[in-house]
Structure 1
Amino acid sequence: MSKAVIALETLSCPSCLKKIENAVKGLNGIDQNSVRGVFNVSKIRIDFDEKMVTIEDVEKVIEDLGYPVIKSKVKAA
């Protein structure tokens, strides 16, 4: 499992964060219990299996919802 912190453009409402969390949880390879959004700093923390899903896949799902990703930081667990 790898860990990632994904920085987003400033989110305008907590329901936007929930929408992003739910979309990310729907991806295969994501540890659903690890998905944590932090609204006041517009970041998402996840644990994921790089054999099943890439950080680019996660970023694409978020951006397809209309929320630009500023940067992602990944570290192997």
Structure 2
Amino acid sequence: MPSTLEPKNSFVNSNLSTPEIATHYVDAAEFRRLIVSNRRMERADNFAPKMRGLRDLKTGELFLTDERWLIDGKR
């Protein structure tokens, strides 16, 4: 299964990113999938309050989710 698939539930926001690097808002399930994927990721939680983030070390892409979705488990 390729790990470079575009997340199904993402929204690209150009306000938080440079033109070369995309920022994706993903749901909790997609965020969890990214955490355990074989992509090299680092935590990136300092972009917005109540948001948790992962940055892909190869592409620089930023994936954000609402921290309440991770606790709630319903999204």
Q: Tell me, yes or no, whether TM beats 0.5.
A: no
Which structure shows the higher strand fraction? Answer: 1
Structure with more relative contact order (C-alpha pairs < 8 Å, separation 6 or more)? 1
